[in-house]
Structure 1
Amino acid sequence: MPRMTARSRTEEHRASTPLELFFDLCFVVAVAQAGGRLVHAVVEGHPGTGVAGYLAVFFAIWWAWVNFSWFASAYDTDDALYRVVTFVQITGVLIFAAGVPRAFDNGDWTLGVIGYVVMRLALTSQWLRVAHYAEGAERTVARRYAAGIVLLQLGWIGMLFVPAGANGARSAVFVVLALCELAVPTIAERDLGTSWHPHHIGERYGLFTIIVLGETIAAATVAVQEAVDEHEALDELLPVAAGGLLLVFAAWWIYFAVPIHSYLRGSRQAFVWGYGHYVIFGSAAAIGSGIEVAVEEAIGKAHVSTTVASAAVTVPAAVYLLTVWLIHARHFKRDLAEQLPLPLAAVAVLGCTFAGEWAVFAAGLVAAATVAVGVSLSRRPASGTPGAVVSPNRM
């Protein structure tokens, strides 16, 4: 069995492995469950409860994926033991996904916590394997990760014993535990950072963005198909379908307009960028849920107004545009002209909320126009602005 030692950050041709791609695809099940329950809550007239549940569930999905991806970037040995432990993590993902409806509908997190604990303890065994072969500061980092993960799993199990209706006590415990989860990498790596690979991490996040956007298209397609089959309301659905497609296409274009690996020079940039993707991934997936809500409202099956249904699309779309600019794209902009399109587009998309039955289509047109403006601006001759990370593909 090979030693689990750190891979080089300058390793050439470092790309995602088939196992990592398989791992990502299994997460689609959990993302679909979260999105589906969000749709159900909003359609039934409980958007606040739905959004709160969605944010909590998506945090667990995102954080488990993040931890696996960064660990794999530094220590993937791809041997038999590593693969088996990864399969255990995938099993945890599927258990967690099965528990999503109960968590949403009844506040019963038992099955979800079991799945999450399976995922996290499997990763703990990987860190202990690193500690077995590592020396000095690297061994300390691995042990800190293992200890932090185990302690927090005890916390999540303890949360189950807090009554769901105890004046928001369980929600408060959830928030505290989530913040502690986010703190583990910072504490563990305060003396030595792990040897994650910039190209590999950039590719991993990009691939998960594609998977999330693909789930958005799939969910919207099913919603439109069911509506057409049951109601034959094609005229009402065309603006929603066309606008939704334009939004997803623009979301892909905007995200992949820059080669982010050239920005990820150290842990400080990487932590902020990586953590910020909770909002990017979550809002991208929520766009698909919003399109489903808009379809349900268009055929008269949703217990919400047209404005609320439109907001289910425009709000996550605006959040996506603004967050992609804030943590991802702005580092490649040369001047104010290139900085403004995405923030202005986010505001314009929010304004589309009040465009009635044409709101989704209008938002799609704004997103498409933003891409066109960005491409036009990127073709200007480089001015050599100090501090800018110049890319021929920036948007």
Structure 2
Amino acid sequence: MNEESPAIPAPAEERHASWLELFFDLVAVAGVAQIAHLLHGEPGAADVGLYVLLFLAFWTAWICFTLYGNVAGEGTHTRTVLAAMFGMAVMAAAVPGVHAGEDGQARALALAYIVVRGLASGVWRNRREILVDWPAAQTSVGVIPWVVSLWAHEPARYWLWALGIALDLYVTFTVSARDIIENRRAHDRREEPRSRRRETVLPVSFATPDADHLGERLGLFVIIVLGEGVAQVIEAASDAPWNRRLYGLAAAAFFLLVALWSLSFRHGYAGVPHLTARSLPARAALPLHCFVSGCLAALAAGLGAAAEHLDTLPDSTRWLLCSSLAGYFLLTGVAALRQPADGRRRLLSVVLPCATAPLLIAGFGGGLGTVAVVWLLVAVTLWPTFYEGRRARRPGPDPRPEA
């Protein structure tokens, strides 16, 4: 008697970034490059402040649609994503004009940001899902200051933009899923005709991101930022005389970016060292990814500026290079502390030394040459790999009982 064997369920196919998502991420290349150019030359405090503000705005617009594509999957509306891409391209193109104080470009950037955030809020409203991990994507309170800024001038315009970003972060860390549901129900009751208005519970579901797919998209963003560092050095080197100093700087910059790549991907998750897929809630992991990416983009801009000053770095450029690397390591300490086994050891032995050493180089390295400064940063970045390797080679305790 032949019996049919029970069907074995096929393993779920591993999901990767779609062609549309990769096309969307190409906009990140243009945006990061334009924003990094704000730190060229000898950047001052105002340049750094504008860089931080625009990077946060650009990353916020990008993550809203990254999460939408992650949750929607095959149901992603292509036209909506393409419209958001166009809006982000307008934002990127307007960055130089904003830096130059042009009101027209500043209004264009603000309007494009408003449109992109409006599109993001609309797709979630239509899906009737609650994105618990990033509620700012579904709310519009952070967009209101950007709307007001259309009639403002600098510097008030920039303060309004900063207020909008701060409100988004406030919503992300304080608003709960229950608050979003109640607001959604109240909105639907207001929109419903009076004759049909009733107190029934409206169906709503919770959106849970695919951790592996999200990690891939976040990692792609960090790869784009590291690639921008290579592009910055290549662009500056193409206009500089090819001599020993340029060769030394090119080698040092390459080793520095490779060491950062190794820390971010071989010893981390989503481009953040010491982070794992579930060691931090997404509400904390996503801002951490944003800030780490911002430090790497600033470092990339500093490397490009270093290729323009092969003899000695200006003080502002040296501080930009060193403080961005220090910030990178300091932020990764948040992820290191989430490691239950040896988080404190890594913080004391790896994170704090690597965050302190660049600041010492920035403060006391005024007499050092450009190439020497970058090679010192390479040594700092290689320390975590050397330390972990040496610790792994240590012999453990002898399991044999004593005689």
How would you bin the TM-score normalised by the shorter chain? Answer: 0.7 to 0.9
Change (3 A) 1:378 1:55: farther
CA distance in 2, matches of 1:226, 1:69: 37
Pairs within 5 Å for 1:193-204 = 194-204=207-217
CA distance in 1, matches of 2:301, 2:132: 39
State the TM-score, normalizing by the size of structure 2: 0.77
2:246 counterpart of 1:237: yes
- CA-atom RMSD, angstroms? 3.0
Match of 2:228 in 1: 215
Alignment match of 1:148 (pick from 139, 142, 147): 139
Alignment match of 1:170 (pick from 142, 147, 157): 157
Alignment match of 1:369 (pick from 378, 383, 390): 383
CA distance in 2, matches of 1:59, 1:163: 20
Pairs within 5 Å for 1:5-154 = 13-39=14-40, 43=41, 45-78=42-75, 82-106=77-101, 108=103, 109-131=106-128, 138=130, 148-149=139-140, 151-154=141-144
CA distance in 1, matches of 2:350, 2:86: 42
CA distance in 2, matches of 1:158, 1:187: 24
Q: Which has the bigger relative contact order, CA under 8 A and spacing at least 6?
A: 1
Change (3 A) 1:379 1:57: farther
Change (3 A) 1:247 1:296: same
What is the DSSP-based 3-state SS (H/G/I as helix, E as strand, rest coil) of the residue aligned with 2:308? helix
Letter in 2 for 1:296: E
CA distance in 2, matches of 1:145, 1:284: 24
Is the CA contact 1:141–1:188 (under 8 Å) kept in the aligned structure 2?
no
Of Structure 1 and Structure 2, the greater helix share is in 1
Q: Which whole-Å deviations, capped at 9, do the CAs of 1:320-373 have from their partners, x for residues lacking one?
A: 122123236853762654442132122122223344111112111221233222
State the TM-score, normalizing by the size of structure 1: 0.78
Is the CA contact 1:110–1:160 (under 8 Å) kept in the aligned structure 2?
yes
Match of 1:247 in 2: 256
Greater gyration radius? 2
Change (3 A) 1:164 1:17: same
Q: Report the Cα offset of residue 182 of structure 1.
A: 2.3
Alignment match of 1:342 (pick from 348, 351, 375): 351
Aligned-pair identity in percent equals 24
Match of 2:298 in 1: 286
CA distance in 2, matches of 1:222, 1:159: 35
Change (3 A) 1:289 1:259: closer
Is the CA contact 1:246–1:365 (under 8 Å) kept in the aligned structure 2?
no
CA distance in 2, matches of 1:314, 1:76: 40
CA distance in 1, matches of 2:235, 2:358: 24
CA distance in 2, matches of 1:325, 1:141: 25
What is the DSSP-based 3-state SS (H/G/I as helix, E as strand, rest coil) of the residue aligned with 1:227? coil
What is the DSSP-based 3-state SS (H/G/I as helix, E as strand, rest coil) of the residue aligned with 1:364? helix
CA distance in 2, matches of 1:193, 1:333: 33
CA distance in 2, matches of 1:199, 1:146: 20
CA distance in 2, matches of 1:174, 1:118: 15
Change (3 A) 1:382 1:58: farther
Q: How many residues align?
A: 348
Match of 1:256 in 2: 265
Query: Which runs of 5 or more structure 1 residues have no equivalent in the other structure?
Result: 1-9, 384-395
Change (3 A) 1:126 1:189: farther
Q: Report the Cα offset of residue 286 of structure 1.
A: 0.9
Is the CA contact 1:245–1:364 (under 8 Å) kept in the aligned structure 2?
no
Q: Report the Cα offset of residue 95 of structure 1.
A: 0.4
Query: Which runs of 5 or more structure 2 residues have no equivalent in the other structure?
Result: 1-10, 179-204, 398-403
